[in-house]
Structure 1
Amino acid sequence: MGEEMELPFIEDVQLTEVMRLRVQSLQQKGQKRQDGERLLLPHEAVYRLNFTQQDLAFCNWKVTIKGPGRLSVTGISQLWTPDLTNLMTRQLLEPTGQFWRTAGDPEDAPIKCLEADIQEFGERIAELAKVRKVMYFLFAFKEGAEKDNITCSVVFKNNSG
């Protein structure tokens, strides 16, 4: 019982592209976003976690960032529907996961983070896993961070053992 499992975040390229097309469409037509709609920013992408088990307990995050930069991970409460309804700001979960490495940090130095926030965020993900097979996230790459230089996963303990 209590076997650990590491779940990697997987970029959802198709969903990210659909969200980028929404932004382009609004810009081309000179329209404004809907009230409360959250548009994807150029430095953001949609990622997902696929839960093979539902009864999980959060253990820890595993994040690597090569070089300086900041990764911001925001959970989305929305269950994406086939018609890909627009993302609304009220569907973004708090807290967010903030991970960063500053210029001059040795490569073997631990990634900096807001520990209380990432602990709470990890526990919320484990709670949502009880009722979901998939969960979506917005990844924001800031301050020089690039998605090719980052790996991110969450380690859970399987309670159903």
Structure 2
Amino acid sequence: MDEAKSLSNTMVLAFKEDTALTEMMRMRVSSLQRSGQKRQEGERLLLPHEWVYRLDFSSQELTFSRWRFSLSGHGRVTVTGISQLWTPDLTHLMTRQLLEPIGTFWRNQDDPEDSKLKYLEADMQEFGERIAELAKVRKVMYFLIACKDGAEAANLRCSVEFTPQK
């Protein structure tokens, strides 16, 4: 239970990069480019500034509490949930499997580096609640995390705090 830190009666789940899946998706893009083929209709290819992350749920009955994120420096980060459960054959990601709303947080270039990150509170609340709902039927959930405007994945820490319902 090292990925889930228990604070009193809360559970904090950290987003972990899925390097194997990220690499597999990058190889798909590279393969299409080399062969001159086009993506399948509705297929969502991984962009260079995106990575695949995952949350592993050790409990299925959760209530969303809050987001915990930190970003060194400036930039914008978007977190997009994926409804797809990857199978061993690593089926292609389809755009219809991307969830709404997405989570976005940022710090502008002219903001002091120690200023709080900005985010759209209503969207982040709804997104957290949606993750808690999906946790009821999932042991793992995947996400696309995109870093823009100077943000770097190495400078990002993101987790979600839940309250177990038991």
> How far is 1:46 from its partner?
0.1
Query: Which residue of the partner structure matches residue 73 of structure 1?
Result: 79
Indicate yes or no: 2:14 matched with 1:15. no
Q: Is 1:132 paired with 2:146? A: no
> Aligned partners of 2:94, 2:78: CA distance in 1, in Å?
18
User: How many Å separate the matches in 1 of 2:65 and 2:12?
Assistant: 9
Q: In the alignment, does 2:113 pair up with 1:107?
A: yes
TM-score, with structure 2 as normaliser: 0.94
CA contact (8 A) 2:74 2:113 kept: no
1:28 aligns with 2:34: yes
Identical-residue share of aligned pairs (%) = 67
Match of 2:55 in 1: 49
Q: 1:5-53: CA deviations, max 9, x gaps?
A: 1100000000000000000000000000000000000000000000001
Matching residue's letter, 1:36:
G
Comparing 146-155 with 97-106, which one deviates more in the overlay? Answer: 97-106
Q: Distance in 1 between matches of 2:68 and 2:159?
A: 5
Hey, what's the Cα distance between the residues in 1 that align with 2:114 and 2:132? 29
Question: Would the aligned equivalents of 2:82 and 2:142 in 1 still touch at CA under 8 Å?
Answer: yes
Aligned partner of 2:160: which letter? V
Residues 82 and 98 in structure 2, CA contact (< 8 A), matched pair in contact too:
yes
Alpha-carbon deviation of 1:136?
0.1
> In the alignment, is residue 94 of structure 1 matched against residue 104 of structure 2?
no
Of stretches 30-39 and 59-68 in structure 1, the one that deviates more from structure 2 is: 59-68
Question: C-alpha separation between the residues in 2 aligned to 1:68 and 1:110?
Answer: 11
Pick aligned residue for 2:88 from 82, 93, 114 = 82
- Structure 1 unaligned spans of 5+: none
Give the structure 1 partner of residue 4 of structure 2: none
2:67 and 2:110 map into 1 onto residues whose CA distance is 23
Question: Is residue 156 of structure 1 aligned with residue 150 of structure 2?
Answer: no
Runs of 4+ in 1 over 4 A off after TM superposition: none
1:62 equivalent in structure 2: 68
TM-score (norm 1): 0.97
Mark the runs of 5 or more structure 2 residues left unpaired by the alignment.
1-7
